[in-house]
Chains A and B, each alone.
Chain A
Amino acid sequence: MNTFLSRNRLIVLAYIGMLLLVLITAFFSPGFLSASNLRSTFILASFVGIVALGQTFVIIGGGIDLSIPWVLNSAAVLMTLLCAGQDLPLIWVVPLLLAGGGLIGLLNGAGVALLGVPPIIMTLAANVILQGLILVFTGGTPTPAAPDMIKFLSVGRISGIPVIALIWTALTVLAWLLLSKSAFGRHLYAVGTNVTVARYSGVPTTRTTILTYVISGMTAALGGILLTGYSGVAYLGMGDSYLFTTVAAVAIGGAPILGGSGHYIGTVAGALVLTILTGLLPALNLSSGALLVVYGAVILLTVSIGSETFSEMWASASNRRKRIKEGTENG
């Protein structure tokens, strides 16, 4: 664990920042620490956190997934359409939609890993194509309300604890096991650090890359399904903000956009920070515009702290990093 902390200083910083933010918020709006408020904060953060899980895996692997918004929208709309407000069809609808999200991810991953299409372009194209297809398919008409079961999963509680927080916790444990305790995790970090070295070390690079996009497609679909339970209905555009928030959560959680390091544990903090900020600003009487400014500033701040320039300043005491950069280059 010690190595985990020393290697992931940025994650520690993200949690420290989150705690400071909690204190500030509690100071400005004393009601913030009430059980009901904490609960609703957790519920909101869960959606960001769950959708950002896949984004974290993709970014660690050196890619990015811009198709999240419409995978999320599609899953939400199709779920309500196919279930028509009934619980029973969920038995097959949910697995089907998760598989569908996975399939989109598979196509994204194949385009990136097999055809060499840049991730930004591949997932952007997937996003707009999916957007059009789902609009054609549904005709843009409103859809039935979410089934009660989904509502329970999104906003229900089991002995006071939101169900979705439990789902999120389970997914976090799963993500931690995958990243820190499995061969796949090692392969993923290797691919994100240097795909050629990974390939020369016998890592199944293509499969690993594709898997990250599959995971991202599945978590986006799951997020869409759960989000309908929160809003009660599915509407097109409900996923639009998730592109920004997932990337922001990953960035605030300390993962470099170029891949190779970072951890979902950091993204969890990122999701919480973003959600708490959303709650803090009304308390300060600030507009939604101010919220965007603060979001941008926080991202800028975290990437600056994580930048090479800063870490070199940090490391100059121990003189280690510099040796990596230059020492071996000029023997």
Chain B
Amino acid sequence: MNSSSKQLQSAQSMNMQSRLLAHAPFLVACSMLVVIVAIYGSLQTGVFTIDEINLNTAAAMTLMLAATGQTIVLLRGGIDLSIGGMISLGTVIAATRFGDDPANILLWSGIILAIGFGIGALTGLLISVLRLQPFLVTLAGWSILNGIALMILPTDGGKVPEWWIGSGYLEFLGLGTPVWILLALIVFWCWFRATRLCTIIKATGSSEKSAFLSGVSITRINIITYGLSGFFAALASLYLTTQIGGGSPNIGTDYILPSVAAAIIGGVSLFGGRGHLFGTIVGAYILTLIGNLVFVLRVSSYWQPVMSGVILLLAVLASSYAEQKARKRGS
């Protein structure tokens, strides 16, 4: 009898609890979402219809896309504040360059996505080569990109064609565009999380030194993660233009800290290495649905930031509590 398989079995039952603890932050986020949906659903009719799902997903989608990139950077142990500038820049480029010709729009969409990845990659390169702190580099990046956006389009304006806006509201099999984007994101993540690259990104976030000693090129990982973050920010900006119908040179700033918050609420660790996109998606839904909750509770909409702040703190405290527990168990 091979002893290894025996040890595997006994280990798996022993593992159950520590695995549960490892997922505690995500489970906490899920239960918070359930509570919010329950309250919302008990006070408002028609919450559990496809229309409502389409509507709320549409409201959450820009944040979800922005937070997807943020999640990847957070997993690597970094942070990307420049996405705010990239989102603004994306909307103003679209609003000023799209025109009516679909071919042209396709071209410029590609250019915007390329700019997003390129600038992110440059950020990652800079962080590696000069060994800089991502917080300050991406803060400067935000300022620069936001400034460029303002130079292209000093105030809200420009326009994208009606059919482009309409493409954000298409329905297929009863599900709207944002829900299909969400499904695509989920499929993407199911694949991505199983790749070597994702393991390497998480490993680098968990312990840069260990990853380096194991032969990981930190520069390459920085270029990829910040590049992906810029790419998803650009994607968010394209989606956003279908919502606002034009360009807005400062709008991205509203997504910087919420994108971090969505990830953290969903159980992604600020210190890197732990978390996944599903948590971030739940976090983005929570932050979005708080707005609806405030509405159906008939309290001042000003309570919305209070609630999101409290939920953020609760999420962080829950995960640090779980971590302490896990650590005690480990030692």
A residues in contact (CB < 8 Å) with B? 64, 66, 111, 115-118, 120-122, 124-129, 131-133, 135-136, 139-140, 244, 247-248, 251, 256-258, 287-297, 299-300, 303-304, 307-310
CA distance A271 to B133 in the complex (A): 21
Known: A117-B317, A129-B309, A257-B136. A289 touches B131 (CB 8 A): no
Q: List 8 A-B contacts (CB under 8 A).
A: A115-B320, A120-B270, A121-B264, A128-B305, A247-B139, A256-B133, A299-B140, A300-B140
B109 → A minimal CB distance (Å): 23
Flag if B312 contacts A125 (CB, 8 Å).
Answer: yes
Flag if B316 contacts A244 (CB, 8 Å).
Answer: no
A251: which B residues are within 8 A, CB to CB? 136
Residues 129-188 of B at the A interface (beta carbon under 8 Å): 129-133, 135-137, 139-152, 154
Flag if B136 contacts A303 (CB, 8 Å).
Answer: yes
Known: A136-B300, A297-B140. A290 touches B147 (CB 8 A): yes
B257 at the interface (CB under 8 A from A): yes
For B143, give its contact among A115, A121, A124, A299 (CB under 8 Å): A299
Flag if B308 contacts A287 (CB, 8 Å).
Answer: no
A311 → B minimal CB distance (Å): 10
B37 at the interface (CB under 8 A from A): no
B132: which A residues are within 8 A, CB to CB? 303-304, 307
Known: A121-B270, A303-B140, A307-B130. A131 touches B305 (CB 8 A): yes
A135: which B residues are within 8 A, CB to CB? 300, 302, 305
For A258, give its contact among B133, B145, B147, B300 (CB under 8 Å): B133
Given contacts A121-B312, A136-B300, 14 further A-B contacts (CB under 8 A): A111-B313, A122-B313, A128-B305, A128-B312, A131-B306, A257-B136, A289-B146, A295-B143, A296-B143, A297-B140, A300-B137, A304-B132, A307-B132, A309-B131
Flag if B302 contacts A125 (CB, 8 Å).
Answer: no
A256: which B residues are within 8 A, CB to CB? 133
B143: which A residues are within 8 A, CB to CB? 244, 248, 292-293, 295-296, 299
CA distance A266 to B307 in the complex (A): 38
B11: which A residues are within 8 A, CB to CB? none
Flag if B151 contacts A125 (CB, 8 Å).
Answer: no
B308: which A residues are within 8 A, CB to CB? 128
CA distance A257 to B79 in the complex (A): 13
CA distance A181 to B270 in the complex (A): 35
B1 at the interface (CB under 8 A from A): no
For B306, give its contact among A129, A257, A258, A294 (CB under 8 Å): A129
A305 → B minimal CB distance (Å): 10
Of the listed residues B130, B141, B148, the one surrounded by the most CB atoms of chain A closer than 10 A to its CB is: B130
For B313, give its contact among A125, A294, A295, A296 (CB under 8 Å): A125
Flag if A117 contacts B150 (CB, 8 Å).
Answer: no
Flag if B317 contacts A296 (CB, 8 Å).
Answer: no
B260 at the interface (CB under 8 A from A): yes
Known: A287-B154, A292-B144. A303 touches B317 (CB 8 A): no
B154: which A residues are within 8 A, CB to CB? 287-289
CA distance A295 to B154 in the complex (A): 17
B300: which A residues are within 8 A, CB to CB? 135-136, 139
B72: which A residues are within 8 A, CB to CB? none
Flag if B317 contacts A297 (CB, 8 Å).
Answer: no
For A118, give its contact among B131, B151, B257, B316 (CB under 8 Å): B316
Flag if B260 contacts A299 (CB, 8 Å).
Answer: no
Known: A117-B320, A121-B316, A287-B151. A257 touches B133 (CB 8 A): yes
A174 → B minimal CB distance (Å): 27
B138 → A minimal CB distance (Å): 10
B13 → A minimal CB distance (Å): 31
B310 at the interface (CB under 8 A from A): yes
B249 at the interface (CB under 8 A from A): yes
B228 at the interface (CB under 8 A from A): no
